[in-house]
Amino acid sequence: MLNKIYDWIDERLDITPIWRDIADHEVPEHVNPAHHFSAFVYCFGGLTFFVVVIQILSGMFLAMYYVPDIKNAWESVYYLQYEVAFGQIVRGMHHWGASIVIVMMFLHTLRVFFQGAYKKPRELNWIVGVCIFAVMLGLGLTGYLLPWDMKALFATKVTLNIVESVPLIGPWLKTLLAGDPYITGAQTLARFFAIHVFFLPAALLLLIGIHFILIRRQGISGPL
C-alpha cells in the first residue's frame, strides 16, 4: 500500500532523485567517529538541530493549551502541567530544551571558531550561524515571560531595563518589546507571545534553511 502511494507521488513530483541525492551524499572521513575519535565535535551541529526540532514540536503542543493573557496565562500553564496527559513531560522537555539548545549551540560555535571553519569561503555561513544564535537567545528571552509567574515577571523587567540602556535606540526598543514605555502588563505578554511563536520561529526556519544550503554547497570544514 505504501509503495503504491509513494509511486503515485513520485510519478507526479519526481521525488526519488531529491532524497537519493541527500541519502547518497558522502560524509568526509574526518567526521566519522569510527575513524577519528575527535570527530565527535562535529556532532554538536546535528545535536543542536535535533534539540531545535524537539523545541518546535513540544512548543506546538504547549501552544494548544496556553492562553496569552494576564488573567489566564498562569492558570493555563498550571492546567497543562497537572491536568493534561503527559503535559508535565512535554513542558519539561521544552523547559530544559531551551537551556540545552543554547549549550549545544555554544559548543558548536566554539568548534567552528577554534577550527577556523569561519574563514573563506565560509564567512557567510558563520554570519548566518551567529544570527541563529541570536534568534535562539531571543526565543529563550521571550519564552521566559510566558508562564506569567513572579520570577518571569521580574526577570523580564530587568531585561527590559537592560534593553532601555542601549544608546540612542534603547527606549524605542523597550517600547517595541513591552508595548508601553512604563508598564509590563497585558501588551508585554501579548507581544512576547507573538514574537516567541510567530516572528522568531519564522526567522529561525529561514536561517536554518540557508545554513543547510550553504553547508551542502561548501561541504563540511576540514580538521584543524
Cα separation, 22 vs 28, whole angstroms: 14
- Global pTM reads 0.89
Q: What is the pLDDT of residues 69-83, one digit of tens each?
A: 999 999 999 999 999
Q: Where are the domains of the chain?
A: 2-218
Length of the chain: 224
Q: Which amino acid is at 162?
A: I
Split at pLDDT 50, 70, 90, the class of 2 is confident
Q: What is the largest CA-CA distance in the chain?
A: 63
Q: Return the CATH fold of 2-218.
A: Cytochrome Bc1 Complex; Chain C (1.20.810)
DSSP string, 118-183: TSTT-HHHHHHHHHHHHHHHHHHHHHHHTT--HHHHHHHHHHHHHHHTSTTTHHHHHHHHHSSSS-
Residues 218, 122 contacting (CB under 8 angstroms)? yes
3-12, 48-57, 104-113, 199-208: range with lowest mean pLDDT: 3-12
